[in-house]
C-alpha cells in the first residue's frame, strides 16, 4: 500500500492510464487487506482508489491526442485497448467492493450502484474484452446472492432489474 501511494505521489494525474493503473492496483491491494479486517474502512479506501482510476481513465479518453502517423495510429490503438481493459477491470472491481460494503452495512443504495456498474461493465466486456467476462459474472453473482439474502430487488436508476 505504501509503495503504491508513493508511486501516486510521483505520478502526475494527467498521465492517464499509468496513473489509473496504479490506482487500480492500490484498490486491489486494499481490497485484499480488507478481507482480513473487521469493518469497511480499508474497503472504502479501495472504493476511492477505483473511483479515482475510473475518473483518470475518463480524462485520458477525452484528452488523448489524435494520431498523425502510422506509428501514432498503432500506439493509439494499443493505449486505447489498455485503457479499455483497465476501465473494465476498475468498474468491475469497484462493483465488487461496493457489494461487499453493501452486504456488511445492509446498504441497498450501494448494492444498486454495484449492480449498475457491473451491468455496464458486463455489457462492455462481452463485446470488447472477453477476458474480463468471468470476473464480471462472478461479481454479478455475488451481487445477486446479496440481494436474494437481503430480500431486495436490484435496480438501476430506481427501475427494477428483470
Which helix (H) or strand (E) covers residue 12, if one does? none
Q: Which residue would you say has higher pLDDT here, 9 or 106?
A: 106
Distance CA 72, CA 29 (A): 34
The conformation of residue 107, written as its DSSP 8-state character, comes to -
Half-sphere exposure of 9 (CA within 13 A, CB side): 6
Distance CA 137, CA 132 (A): 9
Q: Enter the C-alpha cell of residue 127.
A: 463485446
Distance CA 29, CA 116 (A): 24
What is the predicted pLDDT for the residue at 78? 46
What is the predicted pLDDT for the residue at 68? 54
Task: Please write the tens of the pLDDT for every residue from 102-128.
Answer: 999 999 999 999 999 999 888 888 877
Q: Enter the C-alpha cell of residue 79.
A: 493505449
Residue 59's contacts (CB-CB under 8 Å, 6 or more residues apart) are 13, 14, 16
- Residues forming beta bridges with residue 133, ordered by sequence position: none
Task: Please write the tens of the pLDDT for every residue from 52-109.
Answer: 999 988 854 434 444 455 554 444 444 456 667 888 899 999 999 999 999 999 999 9
Q: Residue 4 above 70 pLDDT?
A: no
What is the predicted pLDDT for the residue at 126? 80
Mean pLDDT, rounded, for 42-55: 94
Confidence of residue 12 (pLDDT cuts 50, 70, 90): low
Q: Which residue would you say has higher pLDDT here, 104 or 159?
A: 104
Cβ(122)–Cβ(136) below 8 Å: yes
Q: Residue 149 above 70 pLDDT?
A: yes
Amino acid at each position: 500500500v505504501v509503495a503504491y501511494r508513493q508511486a501516486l505521489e510521483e505520478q502526475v494525474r494527467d498521465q492517464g492510464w499509468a496513473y489509473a493503473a496504479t490506482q487500480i492496483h492500490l484498490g486491489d491491494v486494499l481490497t485484499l487487506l480488507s478481507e482480513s479486517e473487521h469493518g469497511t474502512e480499508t474497503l472504502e479506501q479501495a472504493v476511492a482508489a477505483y473511483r479515482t482510476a475510473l475518473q483518470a481513465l475518463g480524462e485520458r479518453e477525452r484528452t488523448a491526442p489524435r494520431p498523425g502517423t502510422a506509428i501514432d495510429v498503432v500506439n493509439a490503438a494499443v493505449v486505447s485497448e489498455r485503457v479499455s481493459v483497465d476501465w473494465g477491470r476498475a468498474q468491475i472491481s469497484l462493483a465488487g467492493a461496493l457489494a461487499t460494503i453493501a452486504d456488511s452495512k445492509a446498504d441497498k443504495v450501494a448494492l444498486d450502484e454495484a449492480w449498475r456498474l457491473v451491468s455496464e461493465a458486463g455489457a462492455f466486456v462481452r463485446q470488447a474484452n472477453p477476458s474480463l467476462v468471468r470476473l464480471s459474472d462472478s461479481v454479478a453473482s455475488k451481487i445477486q446472492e446479496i440481494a436474494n439474502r437481503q430480500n431486495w430487488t436490484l435496480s438501476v436508476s430506481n427501475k427494477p432489474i428483470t
